[in-house]
């Protein structure tokens, strides 16, 4: 008599499900990076962002002067040269060093503000889109509609004015400004995924709502959220620069690109280069995030998968 032996006797259905998910995740990750490497614009955007990240991390080694306390009143508004690669500002501070340290504030602003919007908006969108009902139709979406009645920058400006000046309050204000778009795109994606066949099949075999939500619906809803978050980082840099320009963001002495533009405004006729450098930095950072976001969108678009 031949006895059949189960090669994995201790493997239950839950473990098998996790193994399938891990293998699927690994293959999807490999496919993502292979297609990403073929997208030239995405590579250019990623290279720009990596350059800014490395600049921010190694700012103390790259900067040639202290961006705040190294003031030379004998070299005010100096042209590039004489120990100052990009010249000096109205207090004799090195423009290049302030530009380098400004990358820290701008990238930190984008990560924190978008992080706030994602941490709050994604769970709200998931629950509202999956469970629907009164909570979704008459509470969440009505609040979202009220917030979307204002442009995100105007909403951030109003929130920053209400919370008071300062970098931390500005990040909270910008994050609140991004909440409506994150909630809407998450909810819309969940409404699509929850009715797909594989979710219905899992529900038919007795999977609980929470298992469906976190193991099936949420992983298959993250692609557009990732794209939206990347694009929102570009908007966050502009918003932080705008708030700092208006005096509602970073402190005036902090090396923020927005505060540098505010200082340069009063000297456009004397030293136009003072406004050019932070303007170029903002342009490149925003361009990098936009190219990266568009590239990720093309990579994750199922219509373009080969």
Position 134 in a domain: yes
pLDDT for the residue 304: 55
CA proximity to 172, closest of 187, 147, 155, 185: 155
Residue-wise pLDDT for 219-275, tens only, equals 888 888 999 999 999 999 999 998 888 888 888 788 889 999 998 988 888 888 899
Radius of gyration of the chain (CA): 24
Is residue 4 in some structural domain? no
- What domain range includes position 239? 102-258+284-306
| 248 vs 156: CA distance, rounded Å | 10
Q: Is residue 175 part of a domain?
A: yes
Both tokens assigned to 293: 């976001």
The reply to whether 110 falls in a domain is yes
- Asked whether residue 22 is assigned to any structural domain, the reply reads no
Please report, for the domain that includes residue 221, its CATH number.
Answer: 1.10.3720.10
Residue-averaged pLDDT of the chain: 84
Q: Is the pLDDT of residue 16 over 60?
A: no
- Is residue 67 situated within a structural domain? no
Calculate mean pLDDT across residues 105-119. Answer: 93
* Residue 252 resides in a domain: yes
pLDDT bucket at 117, cuts 50 / 70 / 90: very high
pLDDT of residue 302: 56
Does residue 54 have a pLDDT over 90? yes
Pair 190, 141: CB distance under 8 Å: no
How far is the C-alpha of 22 from the C-alpha of 57, rounded, in Å? 33
| pLDDT for 303 beyond 80 | no
Q: pLDDT at position 119, please?
A: 94
Say if residue 10's pLDDT is above 60.
no
Give Cβ neighbours of residue 141 (< 8 Å, ≥ 6 apart): 128, 187
Residue 11 lies in a domain: no
Tokens 């509202």 — which residue? Answer: 128
Quote the pLDDT of residue 18: 52
pLDDT at 60 over 70: yes
Query: For residue 9, is pLDDT > 90?
Result: no
The domain total for the chain is 1
Three-state secondary structure of the chain: CCCCCCCCCCCCHHHHHHHHHHHHHHHHHHHHHHHHHCCHHHHHHHHHHHHHHHHHHCHHHHCCCCCCCCCCHHHCCCCCECCECCCECCCCCEHHHHHHHHHHHHHHHHHHHHHHHHHHHHHHHHHHHHHCHHHHHHHHHHHHHHHHCCCHHHHHHHHHHHHCCCHHHHHHHHHHHHHHHHHHHHHHHHHHHCCCHHHHHHHHCCCCHHHHHHHHHCHHHHHHHHHHHHHHHHHHHHHHHHHHHCCCCCCCCCCCHHHHHHHHHCCCCCCCHHHHHHHHHHHHHHHHHHHHHHHHHHHHCHHHCC
Q: How far apart are CA 246 and CA 158, in angstroms?
A: 12
Between 26 and 299, whose confidence is greater? 299
CA–CA gap between residue 95 and residue 107 (Å, rounded): 18
Taking alpha carbons only, the member of 139, 226, 147 closest to residue 180 is 147
Whether 69 has a pLDDT exceeding 50, the answer reads yes
What confidence tens digit (pLDDT) does each residue in 119-154 have?
Answer: 999 999 999 998 888 888 888 899 998 888 887 778
Read off the pLDDT of residues 75-107 as tens digits, 9 standing for 90 and up: 888 888 888 888 888 888 999 999 999 999 999
């Amino acid at each position: 008599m031949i006895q059949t032996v189960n090669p994995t006797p201790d493997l239950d259905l839950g473990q098998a499900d996790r193994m399938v998910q891990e293998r699927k995740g690994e293959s999807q990750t490999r496919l993502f990076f292979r297609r990403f490497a073929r997208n030239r614009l995405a590579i250019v955007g990623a290279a720009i962002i990596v350059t800014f990240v490395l600049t921010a991390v190694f700012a103390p080694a790259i900067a040639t002067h202290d961006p705040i306390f190294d003031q030379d009143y004998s070299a005010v508004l100096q042209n590039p040269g004489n120990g100052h690669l990009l010249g000096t500002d109205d207090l004799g501070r090195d423009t290049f060093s302030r530009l380098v340290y400004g990358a820290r504030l701008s990238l930190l602003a984008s990560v924190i503000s978008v992080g706030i919007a994602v941490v709050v908006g994604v769970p709200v969108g998931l629950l509202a889109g999956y469970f629907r009902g009164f909570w979704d139709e008459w509470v969440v979406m009505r609040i979202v509609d009220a917030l979307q009645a204002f442009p995100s920058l105007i909403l951030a400006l109003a929130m920053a004015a209400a919370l008071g000046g300062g970098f931390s309050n500005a990040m909270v204000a910008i994050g609140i400004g991004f909440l409506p778009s994150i909630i809407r795109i998450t909810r819309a994606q969940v409404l699509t995924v929850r009715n797909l066949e594989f979710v219905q099949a899992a529900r038919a075999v007795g999977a609980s709502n929470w298992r469906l939500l976190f193991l099936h619906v949420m992983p298959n809803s993250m692609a557009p959220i990732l794209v939206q978050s990347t694009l929102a980082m570009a908007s966050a840099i502009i918003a932080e620069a705008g708030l700092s320009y208006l005096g509602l963001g970073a402190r005036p002495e902090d090396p923020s690109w927005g505060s540098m533009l505010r200082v340069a405004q009063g000297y456009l006729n004397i030293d136009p280069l003072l406004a050019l450098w932070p303007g170029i930095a903002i342009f490149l950072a925003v361009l990098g995030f936009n190219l990266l976001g568009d590239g990720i969108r093309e990579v994750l678009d199922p219509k373009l998968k080969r």
